[in-house]
Structure 1
Amino acid sequence: MEKTRDKLIKETRNLESFKEMLNKSNKLTKTMVSILSNFDEKLSKLEETIGPVYKETGNLQQRQENLVKTLQSFDYVIPFYTVANDLEPIITTGPDSMPIPDYLDNMNKLKSAINYFVKNNPESPELMNVTSLHDKGAAFLLKKFRLLISNHSRPLAPNIIYCLVHEDDNQSELPKPLSDKIPEKDRAQLRLLSEWLVVNMKDQFISAYSSLRCEVVEKSLRDFKAHQKSSSGGFSGHLSSPAPPRKSLTPMKDNLPLRRNPKSIQQALKKKLQDVIPTEMLGGRSYHSVPHDLCELATSEREIECYLTSVTALYRLMQAELKLMEGIIPMEHQKLLFSRLVQPALDFVVNEGENIAGRVKKCSVKHDFSSALNLFPILRHQASMRHNFDLLFDGCSTDVQTKFQGLVVTLQTTLNKALEEFIEYIRNDVDTKVPRDGTVHELTSNVMIFLVQLSNYLDILSRVITVTDMQSYERSSDKNKLAFAQYISRVLQTLSLNLQLKSDCYADQYLKAIFKLNNIHYILKTLRKSSLLETLKMYNHEIDLVYEKQIMENKRIYSQSWSRVLHFVLEIDSKTPSPESIEMANMKLKEKDRQMIKDKFSGFNKEIEELRKVQKAYAIPDAELRESLKKDNAMFIVPRYEQFYKKYSNMAFSKNIDKYVKFSPNEVYNIIQSFFDATA
């Protein structure tokens, strides 16, 4: 109970203490509520007081910002209105009065003013003033550019172009004749001017630059061409500067030769033809020449050489122009300018090539096919330079890119037509005039020489020859050779038919055989001595056997011309009589036998004399064939006559033996050796 009472007393005290604390808390809460209420009232009053001030301050700040912006706008705009008056003395004086960069800065200020007025006040009179001043300054800048570029735009001398032609194509620097033409100071000014002009006066700038430089290129090329025509012996001795060692004029990696070193292609060609077709094969006649120059429009080797050099010179000049632009014209505008400035010179060279092709067409109509051969060096040169021109013209206009390709098509078409017309000419050559002596016909010699000449261009023949057998052509690993082999085969077939018709003009069947023998042998020997037979065998494997068979057949026909001579000396008994049998025969000879022996000797003498007279006029120009026939004749006749001679020459068949026995076997041999020789 004590404990309970103590605990109650303690809890009572705690309760009284808690009530006391609760009362204090309530008093503090009331005091805090009163303070907060008072603060809220004061804060509301403050807000009502500060709000209008804050708004006014914001308005004042906005006005200040607007004022600053307005002042800045005035600072930006006012120069546009005053720039014309400020810069007029400077602009009208021209760019010579100050450094180019400073003048360009002033021009850019005018340009900015123009842009401002166009956008904000296009009706402003200031726009007209600024534009007028800008145009005047731009004209001064264009004039300055023209003056600078024209000071370094003189046509190149022929000797400099000649050096350019022989420059190494792999060099990376500007060719020496042009690298020092424009000083660095002028190049820097030209670069600054071109960068400004191409933005502000693009059309006028392109026109100015291209007209000046194209005139230089074209004039340089025309002067070089004129110098070539006036120089009969090349450049050495005609140029003021020493000419570099002569080498190929084709600046290509494959280094195909442009021309041969002799003064004339014809000289080199004749020398080569003489190695292949000796003059004596043609009996000393004029048939060994190339087809006669029937056409007064025929091109000369010198003219072709000059043209090919001009093509290379044009390439070098255009290459130099591109290199020259690298330090002057912005890259993105170089090809446009290049297309315009090279067009006249390119047209000049291509038109000249087309003119040559046109003249060849006219000459082919007049059956002067040798002139067509002059187109092959041009076609070869164009083919070898195609890659270089493609690189040079990359990015240029389509007209520039396709210009040379159009010339190539013209050349190929012209050559193809000339080669086809050549076959038609052979087929339709119905001239009945044949050599009296049965030698090689002029048509045969001209055809074979033409084929030999064509073989010099084997590398490009497939571009111009009409292929008649496409299956064999597609299967061939060497299409150039196969196409040429087909063409040779067509030509020789046509020639054989024509020669057969011509041989029918001979009344003498043995002279006819000699004519065919000469021509066939000439064809076969030319094929063998040149590369033609090797080429032809790609398409006709047994062509040489065919010709050999024809040669043997005509030899057989010719040998029949001896039948009448052989008729008088041919003995059934081929044994040589002994002296005893001859003496016994002399005792037994009857008048009829004596007369028979007389008739045999007389007939033999008459026939061999007649044969010598006739066949002395036969011509076999090829020494090998001539000696072969003589040998065959001697082996065919002399042994038989010797038997006849030994058997009857010592018989007493006549009191005047010498009247009948005129020739010994050795003399008969010498007579045979005199055949085919009009001077014997």
Structure 2
Amino acid sequence: MPVASIGLSNGRHAADEEARAEVDVLNSRLEKTTQLTKKIQACLGRLEATGKSVRDVAGPLNGETKNLQILGNNINAVLASIEKLRQPVDSKNDEEAIIRMGPDKAGLSSYLASIKRLNKALSDMKASNLRSTQQTVADLQRLVKTGNTQLENSFDKILRSETPRSVEPLHYITKDKPFPTLSQDKIARLGLMNSYITGVHRASGVETSSPVAAMYIDVRGQYMANSLVNLAQASTNTAKKKDPNAIYRAGTNGIGTYAQAMEGLFVAEYDNICNLFMREDWAPVFMATCASSLVELSRTLRELNTHIKAHINTDCYLAYEIVEIISSLSNNLESRTGELKSSLAASLKPVRETAKSSLAELLEDTKRKVTSLQTLPMDGAPIPVVSETMQRLQSMVDFLRPISSIMISLGDGGWKTSSSSAAAAAASSTGAAATSGDAAAIPSLASFDVGADGKEIFAHYCTDTIEALMATLDARARMLLAQRKPAIGVFIANSVCIIERMIANSSELGPLLREQQRLQTVLDGFRKKATALYTDTCKDISIHLFDVIHTNRGRGERPTSGQGAVDSSAILKGLSSKDKDKIKDKYTAFNSAFEDMVTRHKQYSMEREVRQMFARDMQSLIEPLYNRFWDRYHEIDKGKGKYVKYDKSGIAAVFLSLY
């Protein structure tokens, strides 16, 4: 065998031997591991058996330990509760001493703290529900009740000591001083009492107002009512005038001062309430405190309303003034307190309704006054109802603000709806034709126009009043002065003149009515009627100045009027004796009728403007005709004046004397 082969064989043998040796080592270690595993398993088995024995023994011990722990905790809680229960019992005598002293001697803060501690202790003892503490609970309840009662009594005492029976409102009004309020230190004490007592009251679940609120309402409400009672009586007393027929003048009734005092007292009281009570109590306490004063106000306004309705023609202006004053009071209190608007509106309602109805009533009363007349002045003199009606309208302007609000609520023409039936009856009794002012108005959306102008509506009311007055006067005059047309004309013209003059002279009524085109149309219409009636006589006079003379054509044509100078002598030469006699008769008849007209014109009772107007109208109708007639025939009596009594300048002078 070669040497190389032998060496290779020996190397392989050595490697195998080495591998077998390693396997033997591994097998030996595996056998030891198996033996160790068996030993560990045996130990684990023994350990599990031992643990089971321990659990069997320790389990009951653990449960007992927990029970003991619970028992210990319960014992500690009971001891703590007993300690808490012993505390109020131990301190009851101390708290009782404070309660017996009262809030004044003990001090309000200490007193309130004591009551709160008693309430806390009482609450805890009630929660424990132990029989052994029932007597203590009863004692604590008695102490708490006593404490609350003393606190309420102290509140009442302080409030009454700070509240006079009444004050004199005029003292504060005339000196422009604010009405008195509760002092700040008393407000602070009363506020603390109120806060506690109200809290206890609400916690009890009772729905009525708290005792302190009731006390406050009673004491302060009576104080305000007592302070205002004299002014309420003065308001009704000043409504009674010495002369029942005197027109009411603004500010002569005490209602303005009454309302001013009420506002001052109410505002001061609202400040007290806001400083003393909680926010949610302000409104109910304030309204309840003011209730008795508002009841007195309602009673006063009802009495005034009864008086106004009984004297509507003279005292309707008081109704307008009351509407303005109470409305202003309501608005002022609404802005300051946010309350009482509805209450004041309810109190004002009767007077406001009377004020609204007075507009139609006054219109109808004007017609009744005229239709009730049994005679009219034969000289055409104006009657008082004309100036009285205009004075009434002028007086209403003094109350234009409340009247404007009333007019807006009525709507334009709203006064016609309530007066239409009465107007129809008046027209039927007088035989007068219905005018536009008598027609019934149908309510429309315009009546509720929030942008309506109250002054403009009032101007329309004035126009309706004047139109109704003139229509009724015209109808009555035609009935009572049926055969005296000139007297009717004078009467109507005088009435128109007085109306226009009073409008022009009124600084307030004038601007309202001057631009009323319908009013001017109405007055112009009646003025034309008056002129036509008065100048009707001129027609009869003018007849004497018309000539229907036939001249002898052989002696030349009759000159045409207006063509150059007229030769009276030439014209007369062309007339026959019979025609000349007719001319003489015409002059004689004219002179008699003219002089009679002049005499009657001077006898009529005319306003200056009316006399001038009628004189001018007569002159314009007669003078041109007379001048023409004179030009043609004045030579009929050769200037002797037997027939021709007036030349042109003479008749012009007569007319001038009529102005």
TM-score band by shorter chain is 0.7 to 0.9
Conserved in 1, the CA contact under 8 Å of 2:267 and 2:336?
yes
Using the TM superposition, give the Cα deviation of residue 512 of structure 1 relative to its aligned residue in structure 2, in angstroms. 0.9
In the alignment, is the contact (CA less than 8 A) between 1:423 and 1:491 conserved in 2?
yes
- 1:513 corresponds to: 489
Measured in 1, the distance between the counterparts of 2:570 and 2:59 equals 178
The 1:82–1:149 alpha-carbon spacing in structure 2 relative to 1, beyond 3 Å, is same
- The structure 1 residue matched to 2:408, chosen from 453, 462, 487, is 462
Residue 21 of structure 1 aligns with which residue?
29
Q: How many residues align?
A: 591
1:414 aligns with 2:390: no
CA distance in 1, matches of 2:568, 2:615: 34
Shift of 1:510: 0.9
How far is the alpha carbon of 1:371 from its aligned partner? Answer: 1.6
Q: 1:55 aligns with which of 63, 66, 81?
A: 63
CA displacement, residues 440-469 of structure 1 (integer Å, 9 cap, x when unaligned): 333333333333444534632222355325
1:473 corresponds to which residue? Answer: 446
Query: What is the deviation of 1:415?
Result: 2.1
Deviation at 1:196, TM superposition (A): 1.0
Question: Does 2:524 align with 1:548?
Answer: yes
The one-letter amino acid paired with 1:157 is: E
Task: Indicate the larger mover: 138-147 or 112-121.
Answer: 112-121
User: Which whole-Å CA distance do the structure 2 matches of 1:132 and 1:11 have between them?
Assistant: 108
Contact (CA 8 Å) 2:250, 2:321: kept in 1 or not?
no
More helix as a share of residues: 2
Q: CA deviation at 1:584?
A: 12
Higher mean displacement: 557-566 or 568-577: 568-577
Tell me which of 195, 202, 208 is aligned to 2:215: 208
Name the larger-Rg structure. 2
- Decide which of 377, 384, 393 is 1:435's aligned counterpart: 377
Q: Could you say if the C-alpha distance between residues 481 and 188 of structure 1 is closer, same or farther in structure 2, counting changes exceeding 3 Å?
A: closer
CA distance in 2, matches of 1:192, 1:640: 103
Residue equivalent to 2:250: 301
Displacement after TM superposition at 1:300 (Å): 5.6
The equivalent of 1:625 in structure 2 is 610
- Name the CA shift for 1:118/1:624 in 2 (closer, same or farther; >3 Å): farther
Shift of 1:43: 3.7
Contact 1:213 1:341 in 2 (8 A): yes
Aligned match of 2:315: 371
1:502 to 2:476 alignment: yes
Distance 1:354 1:463 in 2: 21
Q: Is the 8 A contact 1:583 1:651 kept in 2?
A: no
**2:85–2:125 contact (8 Å) kept in structure 1:** no
TM-aligned CA distance change 1:493 to 1:652, over 3 Å:
closer
Shift in alpha-carbon separation, 1:435–1:153, aligned structure 2, 3 A = farther
Task: Please give the per-residue CA displacement for 1:548-602, whole angstroms capped at 9, x wherever unaligned.
Answer: 243223213212334555566667897999999769989x9989968974x6676
Distance 1:353 1:26, change over 3 A: same
Q: 1:244 — aligned with what? A: none
1:152-301 equivalent positions in 2, closer than 5 A: 152-154=162-164, 155-159=166-170, 161-162=172-173, 177-178=179-180, 182=183, 184-201=184-201, 202-223=209-230, 301=250
Q: 1:578 to 1:589 in 2, by over 3 A?
A: farther
The reply on whether 1:448 has 2:390 as its aligned counterpart is yes
Q: Deviations over 1:11-41 (max 9, x none)?
A: 2212221232233323433443444444444
- Report the 3-state secondary structure (helix = DSSP H, G, I; strand = E; otherwise coil) of the residue aligned with 2:360: helix
For 1:462, the aligned partner's letter is: I
Query: 1:227 and 1:293 mapped to 2: Cα distance?
Result: 18
- Contact 1:638/1:668 (CA < 8 Å) preserved in 2? yes
Paired residue secondary structure (1:372)? helix
**Cα distance in 2 for residues equivalent to 1:470 and 1:580:** 71
Q: Which amino acid aligns with 1:67?
A: I
* Superimposed CA distance per residue, residues 530-561 of structure 1 (whole angstroms, 9 cap, x where no aligned partner): 687986799x8555234324322321321233
**Aligned in 2, Cα 1:161/1:215: closer, same or farther, shift over 3 Å?**
farther
Aligned to 2:143: 133
Q: 1 CA distance for matches of 2:111 and 2:597?
A: 105
CA contact (8 A) 1:452 1:532 kept: yes
Structure 1 residue 81: Cα displacement: 4.7
Q: 1:358 aligns with which of 303, 306, 316?
A: 306
* Structure-2-length-normalised TM-score: 0.75
Partner of 2:535, secondary structure, is: helix
CA distance in 2 between partners of 1:103 and 1:449 (Å): 71
What are the equivalent positions in structure 2 for 1:550-629 lying under 5 Å apart?
A: 550-563=526-539, 597=584, 606-621=592-607, 623-629=608-614
Give the Å deviation of 1:374: 2.4
Deviation at 1:500, TM superposition (A): 2.5
CA contact (8 A) 1:83 1:109 kept: no
Deviation, 1:129, is 3.2
Fraction of identical pairs, as percent = 17
- In structure 2, the CA distance between the partners of 1:673 and 1:136, relative to structure 1 (3 Å rule), is farther
When residues 129 and 463 of structure 1 are mapped into structure 2, their CA distance, relative to the original with a 3 A threshold, is same
What aligned pairs does 1:389-400 form with structure 2 within 5 A after superposition? 389-392=333-336, 394=338, 400=340
CA distance in 1, matches of 2:216, 2:453: 47
Report the Cα distance in structure 1 between the residues aligned to 2:76 and 2:26, rounded to whole angstroms.
70
Separation of aligned partners in 2, 1:192 and 1:475: 52
Q: What is the rounded CA distance, in whole Å, between the counterparts of 1:363 and 1:550 in structure 2?
A: 32
CA distance in 2, matches of 1:581, 1:421: 66
Q: 1:376 to 1:584 in 2, by over 3 A?
A: closer
Question: Aligned AA for 2:521?
Answer: L
CA shift at 1:418, angstroms? 1.6
Corresponding residue of 1:274: none
Q: Specify whether residues 609 and 126 from structure 1 end up closer, same or farther in structure 2 by C-alpha distance, changes over 3 A only.
A: farther
For 2:245 and 2:509, the matched residues in 1 are separated by 28
Letter of the 1:629 counterpart: F
1:70 and 2:78 matched:
yes
Between 5-14 and 508-517, the greater mean CA deviation after superposition: 5-14
Conserved? CA contact 1:221–1:310, under 8 Å = yes
Task: Summarize the Cα distance change of 1:299–1:595 in structure 2 as closer, same or farther, 3 Å threshold.
Answer: closer
Contact conserved, 2:108 with 2:189, CA < 8 A, in 1? yes
| C-alpha distance in 1 between matches for 2:582 and 2:544 | 13
* CA distance 1:31–1:564, shift in 2 (3 Å): closer
Q: Distance in 1 between matches of 2:157 and 2:20?
A: 122
Number of the residue aligned with 2:270: 322
Gaps of 5+ in 2: 1-8, 202-208, 415-440, 549-558
Q: Match of 2:67, as an amino acid? A: N
Q: CA RMSD in A?
A: 4.5
- Runs of 5+ in structure 1 lacking a partner? 168-174, 233-263, 267-291
1:144 to 140, 148, 154: 154
1:405 aligned counterpart, secondary structure: helix
Counterpart contact for 2:404–2:458, Cα < 8 Å: no
Out of 399, 402, 414, the residue aligned to residue 342 of structure 2 is: 402
